[in-house]
Structure 1
Amino acid sequence: MSKKMQVLIVEDEPIIADDIAICIGQMGHEVTSICNTADQALAVLDQSTIDLALLDIKIKGGRDGVQLAQCIKQKTNIPFIYISSLYDKTTISRAKNTRPSGYIVKPFKDEDIKVAVDMALVKTKIKPVNQSDTDQLELFIRERNAIVPLDFNEVFYIEASDNYSIFHFEGKHHVVSQTLKLIEQTLASQGYCRIHKTFLVNLRKIDRIEHSVVFINGRPLPIGKAYKKTFMSRLTIF
């Protein structure tokens, strides 16, 4: 039987909090606590083992949900998802800087909650590559006139371009003279999976999956029919 995940909900509107809790329960997980302030939530984190937090941004008290997320990141490495009616540029920018596992806009459907929670928990099952592992693969790429080590955890996805491949990072990319097929053979054991003839994705960086599209760092990438079964088999979905 799959482990029952302990979920913290931070939401100051009781009806919405109850709706979220019911959805979490239907997924087979357990709501450890429902809080309406950041201070209450931090107290729960000190006293309980939490696997996932769902955070409203506009909450009661002196700190909002984004400030709470910053505190959570300092205390623990659990994933968190924002649920908010706010989607203005400033709020989205603040939220993105905390690297949430998802962002759900109110009003939401139960399916929105389920997909976001599934994706957040998938990420927790894919451990970052540990540099101290004895079987760690050492890989280097060329950067201008230098050769630098590749951080497997920082690559978002790799894109095929004829006989070249493009490594996409946050705000930059690197072009290497290797085919995507050869790179796939090298990186499959490092948490990467082919989703399309053109794309190899870092499973740790997936934001969400909708229908036949994978979203990574805000970019939609198609899932090819020939790759969908293998790709889905790599995911742990509760």
Structure 2
Amino acid sequence: MANEKIIIVEDEELVAQDIKLILEGLGYHVPAITPSGEEALLKIEEYCPDSVLMDIMLEGEMDGIETAQKISERYDIPVVYLTAYSNQEILHRAKKTEPYGYILKPFKERDLQINIEMALYKHEARKSRLQLLQQKAVNKYLEKSLKEKETLMREIHHRVNNNLQIIISLLSLQSKYFEDEKVHDFFKDYVNQLKSMSMIHERVYQSDDLASIDFNHYLVGLASQLSSSYKKDPNIEIIINSDDIFLNVETAIPCGLIINEILSNSLKHAFSDELSHLNKGEILVELRTNQRGKYVLSISDNGVGIPEGVEFPYKGSFGFRMVNTLIKQLGGIVEFDGSEGTSYQIQFEELRYTERIKLDSRGKN
């Protein structure tokens, strides 16, 4: 028993006091006894009872059935009739109010106890069913809304990918009008940067999970695409070692651009024009998760290193500065060594879009 509150609406004071003693003996709390329907509505407003025990013939202008009807319209409280009237007309009127019980006077304590307990139980069960139905309706709506948003997101990624492909095609066509090899290389670099982004949108579009992409598979695809673009010497080997890491788009795009730029530089500049089978070139790309939960991206080659006077990130090419900017965008740190070949080790965490908005807004204040 949870000490539920029950208001008694009964115009016979002695009967009402007797009922109160019985209910309190059963563990219920009776905060009010009232002889009229009008006063009963006021007491319900004041005490918010768990149930109302209602006589049909009452003082005042409203009888118990009219009062029960108003209770039903205003509140979600179970009403149990306790009355001496059982004629057909009264029963017909009472049924329309959908009472939770109907006890005839003179009553037995056991009948009163059973009716009250059943009324409270049925009311809680009804509320639980309604809540379950409401939750199912909400879940169905949310599921439908989620599917609609997933469809929209896929369409957005598809359109972004199509637009990137149009730009790539335009740049490729434009480059054919120039005979200078340096201009061709310039266009090729930018086309490869766009392709590195396009591959991410394509993988998201094809993925079951719109929130992230399998970055290990992306690395393999990116290495293959760059090898083909720069006509990789067969004596140069690109080795990919990566944990099973999934990155969201917010993180994957700058990370992909960083890898694209460093790999491109190694393929273009790290090795001599003629490599023998005894002098193989090697480019190693690793992406791991360290003990602190951060990502560690390592890219190295065993090539010639960087020329004298060139330093990462500011005393060198635009590519160095772009890589450094992208690392900062990831909130990462980098260790660079260009003495024997080149080696980058970059630590970063996955970006969260909402967090970045907060950081940007603080920075503008």
TM-score by length of 2: 0.36
Return the match for 2:134 from 132, 147, 164.
Answer: 132
Question: Displacement of 1:18 after TM fit?
Answer: 1.1
Higher relative contact order (CA 8 A, sep 6+): 1
**What is the DSSP-based 3-state SS (H/G/I as helix, E as strand, rest coil) of the residue aligned with 1:128?**
helix
Which amino acid is the alignment partner of residue 133 of structure 2? Q
Which amino acid is the alignment partner of residue 98 of structure 2? R
**What is the DSSP-based 3-state SS (H/G/I as helix, E as strand, rest coil) of the residue aligned with 1:41?**
helix
Gap change, CA 1:5 and 1:137, over 3 Å in 2: same
**What is the DSSP-based 3-state SS (H/G/I as helix, E as strand, rest coil) of the residue aligned with 2:134?**
coil
**1:126-185 Cα deviation digits (max 9, x unpaired):** 1224333249999xxxxxxxxxxxxxxxxxxxxxxxxxxxxxxxxxxxxxxxxxxxxxxx
1:55-66 equivalent positions in 2, closer than 5 A: 55-66=54-65
Partner residue in 1 for 2:79: 80
**What is the DSSP-based 3-state SS (H/G/I as helix, E as strand, rest coil) of the residue aligned with 2:61?**
coil
1:93-132 equivalent positions in 2, closer than 5 A: 93-126=92-125, 127-129=128-130, 130-132=132-134
**What is the DSSP-based 3-state SS (H/G/I as helix, E as strand, rest coil) of the residue aligned with 1:78?**
coil
Partner residue in 1 for 2:33: 34
Instruction: Indicate the larger mover: 59-68 or 17-26.
Output: 17-26
Matched, 1:20 2:19: yes
Counterparts of 1:86 and 1:72, CA distance in 2: 20
Q: How many residues align?
A: 137
**1:70-119 Cα deviation digits (max 9, x unpaired):** 01011101101001110000000000110000000011111111010010
Counterparts of 1:134 and 1:8, CA distance in 2: 34
Partner residue in 2 for 1:71: 70
Which amino acid is the alignment partner of residue 129 of structure 2? P
Give structure 1 stretches of 5+ with no counterpart.
139-238
1:176-187 equivalent positions in 2, closer than 5 A: none
Larger helix fraction of residues? 2
Counterparts of 1:95 and 1:71, CA distance in 2: 13
Counterparts of 2:68 and 2:112, CA distance in 1: 18
Counterparts of 2:138 and 2:74, CA distance in 1: 28
Gap change, CA 1:123 and 1:137, over 3 Å in 2: farther
**1:6-35 Cα deviation digits (max 9, x unpaired):** 100000001110111111101101001000
Gap change, CA 1:118 and 1:46, over 3 Å in 2: same
Counterparts of 1:69 and 1:125, CA distance in 2: 19
Gap change, CA 1:71 and 1:137, over 3 Å in 2: same
Gap change, CA 1:34 and 1:131, over 3 Å in 2: same
Which amino acid is the alignment partner of residue 135 of structure 2? D
Counterparts of 1:125 and 1:132, CA distance in 2: 15
1:206-221 equivalent positions in 2, closer than 5 A: none
Counterparts of 2:68 and 2:80, CA distance in 1: 9
Which amino acid is the alignment partner of residue 46 of structure 1? E
Gap change, CA 1:31 and 1:90, over 3 Å in 2: same
Question: Displacement of 1:58 after TM fit?
Answer: 0.5
TM-score by length of 1: 0.55
Structure with bigger gyration radius? 2
Which amino acid is the alignment partner of residue 8 of structure 1? I
**What is the DSSP-based 3-state SS (H/G/I as helix, E as strand, rest coil) of the residue aligned with 1:83?**
strand
Which amino acid is the alignment partner of residue 29 of structure 1? Y
Q: Percent identity?
A: 31
Counterparts of 1:46 and 1:113, CA distance in 2: 24
Counterparts of 2:136 and 2:8, CA distance in 1: 39
Partner residue in 2 for 1:92: 91
**What is the DSSP-based 3-state SS (H/G/I as helix, E as strand, rest coil) of the residue aligned with 2:24?**
helix
Counterparts of 2:88 and 2:136, CA distance in 1: 44
